[in-house]
Amino acid sequence: MADFNWLEILGWNSYQLEELRFAGFSFVRQGKYDKALIYFKSLVILDPKSSYDFQILGALYLQTNEEAQALPMLNQALELDPTHEPTQLNKVKTLITLGQKSEAFALAAALEKSKNRVIADDATAVIMAHS
């Protein structure tokens, strides 16, 4: 599906994408993750270069205990934006749940050095909780 330019085929532009994101995120805020997943699954097809959509989709899969599906989405988000620390932290949590603790701890150790204290503290908490 990535071989098609769906936006061109549909005659859409960034306005329609933002409307989908807004609708999807409104379901996230309401805790209706199953509905939000539908929107963000569509968005990663429509806009495969959007790290944001992959970040949110990965986080939604993590939130709904679908870690095996979360990991490829988080990896894709990090391929598009390797420095996004909240996505890195979600990857740490996903890896731990999948039993890949050594990789998770290595990434968490790097995040402990973050200038963002919330990220650094969360990384420390994850390491302490799972050591």
C-alpha separations of 22 from 79, 85, 110 in Å:
24, 23, 33
Identify whether 116 is part of a domain: yes
My answer on whether 68 and 120 are in the same domain is no
Q: Looking at the structure, do residues 41 and 68 belong to the same domain, yes or no?
A: yes
Q: What is the pLDDT of residue 1?
A: 47
Range of the domain at 60: 13-82
Domain assignment of residue 1, yes or no: no
Please tell me whether residues 76 and 92 are part of one structural domain: no
Helices 14-29/51-63 angle, 10° precision: 20
On whether residue 3 sits in a domain, the answer given is no
Domain count of the fold of the chain:
2
Q: Are residues 71 and 106 in the same domain?
A: no
Q: Do residue 63 and residue 111 come from a single domain?
A: no
Mean pLDDT by 10 residues, the chain (131 residues): 78 92 97 98 95 98 97 98 98 97 98 98 97 90
Boundary of a domain, candidates 82, 99, 121: 82
Q: Which of 53, 51, 59 is nearest to 41 (CA)?
A: 53
